[in-house]
Structure 1
């Protein structure tokens, strides 16, 4: 990319009112297309979709009644896709910091188990707001362990305008109670049917980990998703403890277990896959199974880093996920590239580790493919949903500019996101909703969070960082 004076002066500041029109012909400084960033292009947004994408002069000629809205100094790019999230864990957040792996057993399951329908809704709405603020227009929720039918999560998605792949957990093993498997399957079928034609909510089924499902249930749920074109989610090969449990109980690793149960395939989305063997990589490749690569989760609580670069080279479908750690898409891309560099690139002398363009792809179109939403979203293309961001490029960090994809991965941050659109509607302007009170939600969460956490049987191994033993803090010298 040539470094040049890119940003023509604009006497009229961009306003949310301008972006709220039912038909928009947007002419940004740069448009991020699948082949990379281009200049002198425009998009026509109407009825929730990109009605046309092409050179500005061409579109201006085709639609003479529409005045192009110039976006000097701005990038129009696809919204990011979070391929793995837990929307109902947002009330806990930093409780998991510094804790040993498998925190779901001691923190997330106890917390979610204490949430009533109202708290599920508030937790999901807070997480959805965070996601949109971080540039995510689509989030894949792995399913909550809270009681209910997930309608409260769907309501939060609709009210915030976040596109949501909504998981429903179908575990039939792991508890002390007798399980009615026919009731689980009836609930699963109803979930798929209820959201089949929804504009924002895309139904999905999940089994938390392979060991939480019988082989019969794994195969049946995989079949339901295969037939309906939906995603079947599970966590596999994430922690050493879970891999060893699988080996002890079945003499199979978790991904081998999934293959034995006939659950692998294009419908399957495996979260994490960090502790993975060459044989298991071949199982993923040959079956068409997708993976959510969650680098921040590896950093904060994991045992290893998924070989995402190798997966991409093998043709395995890979998206990037937060795992509910932090909803900041630019920092997620940076973490994705950095983790690959530390875990694999340095020892191999690989100085590019896929380059910026790979991580941009995995965070957008790659995620859409992993979630089986490729025909709907993930890129700027005619006919696809108008899920996009308007990003300010006129900042010191991107000046001068020599390689925009790399710069977006390593320099950009969410403070540069001026506008977030989902399905053609402006959902956030400069970090806050345009049609509901986000700050009121934050205040309500602050008021209720302490009581919720205090009432949950959470077990933390370490206390707050301020309570860290003094003899472990040599940097603090007594006066």
Structure 2
């Protein structure tokens, strides 16, 4: 008896698959996708008889990985790429970034900056980003326009910006935007108190209550500089992590960003509370913030994801660069060449980040039942050959320029290195206008 093949939307046949949910790299396997989900991961020969795909994509020299997840960025700040380089964090923020934002921040600024960031990230294999910025409605619209998955911060500060007047106003506006986007499966939200030095105990307490009520992650800069830690001890009599622990914020819902300056007590607090860290190695180096003890974090079981930070402090939204740098720094700092091998770094950039966002049941690995967020990397170019270990090549050899195809929820967003869904001319004209505006205001 002949069985009728099952109709599906897409069958992808790469040379290799790094599923991430297992330690093995598969070869001669295919991924079957219907609508927004992965139906099966199975041997190619079996897939060809079992399924009748509408689209059949063969990638003879490629490795297929889960879509990369940028666990920390400020997407709209891409419009400020390179305006204030080679400066320490507080001088960079107080004398350049905050004044520029004060003069230019608007919904249109956020929409255009986020569109630019999404275009860059998608072409580099990033399918989801965790954002901390203002006007989240404009950011949601931009990400949605390009078909990208986003977790947008309900950013909270105590001081006014053009977006909001005080902590209560920031939170109220953010919650209203979240409500407006609840029906969009690609747009999610988190609570984003900027940092312990910009948020009061009372605001942190309200944020904790909202996190528990709405089951939202808390995304917060933490222990980024030695000055931040020293100032906390002077003002509060304790280090920032201990203060947040006293307030009840440490736990599986917390994503602490940077976490550079940690002592043994800090590390123990993070581990025992199952808190998460977003490691941003390039930004930490560029702002001279320091070297995070990531190898030690992983050794004691702290979940660590990777982020680029914003393009104003990085100046790239390039997760391939972050993966390779994270691995190299961990080896150099720990004195252990086996620290953060390729498999573990890829997990940090995919399933580890998904876990931090509370989304590991939906994204982060090539697993049947999960959303089809995928990235195909061409390892057939001369600079990527010979290839003895394709997974090692993803971290140590390949770059974002080798990404050829990207799918988000089963829809192709990048096809043969070209964005599928963007009004490119409109974006380019907007970028030219913003460059002129920013240059004029800097010179005024």
TM-score by length of 2: 0.90
Rounded to whole Å, the distance in 2 between the matches of 1:198 and 1:316 is: 31
| Partner Cα distance (2:52, 2:188) in 1 | 37
Are the aligned partners of 2:8 and 2:53 in contact in 1 as well (CA < 8 Å)?
no
In structure 1, the partner of 2:250 is 264
Which residue number in structure 2 is paired with residue 123 of structure 1? Answer: 113
CA shift, 1:443, in A, is 4.1
Deviation, 1:457, is 9.6
What is the Cα deviation at residue 300 of structure 1?
0.7
Question: 1:297 corresponds to which residue?
Answer: 283
Whole-angstrom distance in 2 between the partners of 1:126 and 1:66: 31
Report the equivalent of 2:4: none
Which has the higher Rg, Structure 1 or Structure 2?
A: 1
Matches of 2:217 and 2:55, distance apart in 1: 41
Aligned mate of 1:312, from 278, 298, 304 = 298
Distance 1:236 1:69, change over 3 A: closer
| Partner SS for 1:95 | coil
Task: Check the 8 A contact 2:8/2:54 in 1, yes or no.
Answer: no
Question: What is the Cα-based RMSD across aligned positions, in Å?
Answer: 2.3
Q: How far apart in 1 are the matches of 2:165 and 2:434?
A: 33
Relative distance call for 1:67 and 1:159 in structure 2 (3 A) is closer
* Greater Cα offset, 58-67 or 227-236: 58-67
Distance 1:444 1:52, change over 3 A: same
Shift of 1:66: 6.4
Q: Does 1:373 align with 2:359?
A: yes
Indicate yes or no: 2:99 matched with 1:110.
Answer: yes
| Structure-1 residue corresponding to 2:3 | none
Give the Cα–Cα distance (whole angstroms) in 2 for the partners of residues 320 and 311 of structure 1. Answer: 13
Could you tell me whether the CA contact under 8 Å between 1:247 and 1:253 is conserved in 2? yes
The counterpart of 1:407, out of the listed 386, 393, 398, is 393
Bigger mean CA deviation after superposition, 307-316 or 57-66: 57-66
Say if 2:323 is the partner of 1:333: yes
1:342 matched to 2:332:
yes
- SS of the aligned residue for 1:82 comes to strand
- Equivalent residue, structure 1, for 2:435: 449
* Superposition pairs of residues 372-451 of structure 1, within 5 angstroms: 372-438=358-424, 440-451=426-437
- Relative distance call for 1:125 and 1:188 in structure 2 (3 A) is closer
Residues of 2 paired with 1:431 and 1:94: CA distance?
Answer: 25
Unaligned runs of 5+ in 2: 1-6
Taking a change above 3 Å as real, the CA distance of residues 457 and 285 of structure 1, as seen in their structure-2 partners, is farther
Alpha-carbon separation, structure 2, partners of 1:413 and 1:234: 29
Match status 1:82 vs 2:70: yes
Residue 265 of structure 1: how far off its partner (Å): 1.3
Give the aligned partner of residue 217 of structure 1. 203
**Gaps in structure 1 of 5+ consecutive residues:** 1-20, 459-479
* Residues 257-316 of structure 1: CA deviation (Å, up to 9, x unaligned): 111221111111111000011101111111111100000011211321111121112111
Give the superposition deviation at 1:440. Answer: 4.4
Q: Please give the alpha-carbon distance, in whole angstroms, between the structure 1 residues aligned to 2:438 and 2:55.
A: 51
Aligned partners of 1:290, 1:218: CA distance in 2, in Å? 17
Asked if residue 140 in structure 1 is aligned to residue 126 in structure 2, the reply is no
Judging changes above 3 Å, is the alpha-carbon distance between structure 1 residues 25 and 65 closer, same or farther for their aligned structure 2 residues? closer
Cα distance in structure 2, aligned partners of 1:36 and 1:60: 22
Offset at residue 455 of structure 1 (A): 2.5
**Which whole-Å deviations, capped at 9, do the CAs of 1:410-442 have from their partners, x for residues lacking one?**
110112111111111111224332232335423
Contact 2:132 2:153 in 1 (8 A): yes
Query: Which residue matches 2:268?
Result: 282
1:364 counterpart SS class: helix
SS of structure 1 residue aligned to 2:69: strand
Give the match's secondary structure for 1:291: strand
More displaced stretch, 106-115 vs 247-256: 106-115
Contact 2:10 2:33 in 1 (8 A): yes
1:430 to 1:60, Cα distance in 2 relative to 1, 3 A? closer
Distance 2:368 2:390 in 1: 23
CA deviation after TM superposition for structure 1 residue 156, in Å:
0.5
Cα distance in 2 for residues equivalent to 1:236 and 1:181:
18
Q: How many residues align?
A: 428
Q: Is the 8 Å Cα contact of residues 293 and 330 (structure 2) preserved in structure 1? A: yes
- The change in CA–CA distance for 1:92 and 1:355 in structure 2 (over 3 A counts) is same
1:11-90 mapped onto 2 (5 Å cutoff): 23-34=9-20, 35-64=23-52, 68-90=56-78
Report SS of the residue matched to 2:64.
Answer: strand
TM-score by length of 1: 0.84
